[in-house]
Structure 1
């Protein structure tokens, strides 16, 4: 499968996760399964690496692997901790479709970072395609749904923050894969970094043991489904970055908006999709995706 194909599978997985996060919130007593999702990502990616990985233990133990491993660790903190946590909180506050569309801002940040640090200079149509995606996001942000209270405002900020964190992680992953080309290993290392950070943060705060136990409080069906979807999306994304430019992978995620909207109808109900507000921005995002794949 091509990098573009893996990117589309990642978008489908993240679309499903956005909807199941909302379903899981109703029964959540802890973090709504954020930690559980990182645990499952580590387990699945570790198994894939040990069973079918391209980089073996001897290569990982060499001095040449120190830099890419450090890069994967940093990418894990940006994606597994910062990006994933803000994605959960934004989705809970503004809904899965709006949060999904906000993540399309990722190419805005990934593009200049990729140019500066990876020397990736996409063709003109890539810039134009990314521009269409950005236009769709800005169109939606210009007229977001309004609900009482301060929560939605914070939700929009968290959504933008999530896009920024994921953009940095994309660039870091791509750089690491250039030196150590094993998507499963990179995902595994990043997930371990996320687990270590979350457990360390829990233990160093007041009531550490109780906070640590609270990380695995939420283990209902929707939490497991979210964890599985996010794990699949993370791994597909790593495989996509092996053979496609970082900006293409980031921007192909625009189809996540459609996947989220359609799955929202099935799993949440028609009210989850504000069609009149979302379809024009989503169509602009898909038009950009077509340009990227042509």
Structure 2
């Protein structure tokens, strides 16, 4: 049963990735982040309410709540905001492959801060994930260089040169957003685990984290125009693709937690990493997102999934 739930979670995450891409363009004001977090809050809250009424309420502790608040900042706000932005600029398949940096960062955190040991399979997994990311970035540099040849010299001079151009190029393709998202999720999962030790209710923890994400975005909207416009767009116009992405993301999280409650973290993580394959299939065969999926992208996606599986299975 746990394996089926994990596979459904991977499928949901794959659907969400593709729907975000279908519902946005690189210059879109709203990429669905706020709507997604809002839906997560209501879905997780509904399950937590039902679970509390039927099975009894979890004992609230100040330490547990603070862990969930910190997890919300890291995952619901930083992680999801940058993930959706990465998909918006990079495409669902490439962003999904970069997302596989999550277990890599988790392992590095364990090694440097928790003094966990390395082994051969973890090292191979790290090489696979890092190598896949390098392949994707290299491909983007090649594409950008080809496009640059078609730009007049006068416009190239205005754009600047050197290292700044390279950083700007990476940011334009969404890799910076993807890496930040993966790092935030990796730390957030560790923090959430600490919260679950204090308050063993993943749905309540998810609801608290989503509420924090909502509040942070609302506060930032008072000072930053882009957040304000995104939130206003959420309520002023119905965007079916982004609504679907919000539902799929929320269901993916709920199914993932349900799988964890029945099986170990490693087995669930390995199966859930197949969201790369689902994203690849849905993007090219079902939703037709026209992301220019090349052999390099397919190779990098599969390699990243294998690397995540090796790390998680240890």
Does TM, normalized by the shorter one, top 0.5? yes
For the residues of structure 2 that align with 1:123 and 1:207, how far apart are their CA atoms? Answer: 45
2:163 maps to 1:146: no
**What do you get for the CA RMSD once the two structures are aligned?**
3.4
Gaps of 5+ in 2: 149-164
- Cα shift readout 1:149-170 (whole Å, capped 9, x = no counterpart): 8875211111111111111111
Counterpart in the other structure of 2:34: 35
Counterpart in the other structure of 2:86: 90
Q: Check 1:178–1:241 CA distance in 2 against 1; reply closer, same or farther (3 A cut).
A: farther
Of 236, 248, 261, the residue aligned with 1:229 is 248
Q: Normalization by structure 1: what TM-score? A: 0.82
Contact 2:32/2:84 (8 A) holds in 1:
no
For the residues of structure 1 that align with 2:226 and 2:87, how far apart are their CA atoms? Answer: 28
Q: CA deviation at 1:184?
A: 0.8
Larger Rg: 2
Counterpart in the other structure of 2:8: 9
For the residues of structure 1 that align with 2:26 and 2:128, how far apart are their CA atoms? Answer: 38
Q: CA deviation at 1:119?
A: 6.8
Counterpart in the other structure of 1:49: 48
Contact 2:274/2:305 (8 A) holds in 1:
yes
2:181 maps to 1:162: yes
- Cα shift readout 1:54-111 (whole Å, capped 9, x = no counterpart): 9844612xxxx11111111111111111111111111111111111111111122111
Q: CA deviation at 1:278?
A: 1.8
- The 5 Å alignment of 1:93-242 reads 93-115=89-111, 125-144=121-140, 146-147=143-144, 148=147, 153-154=170-171, 155-204=174-223, 213-240=232-259
Q: Normalization by structure 2: what TM-score? A: 0.77
**Number of aligned positions between the proteins:** 288
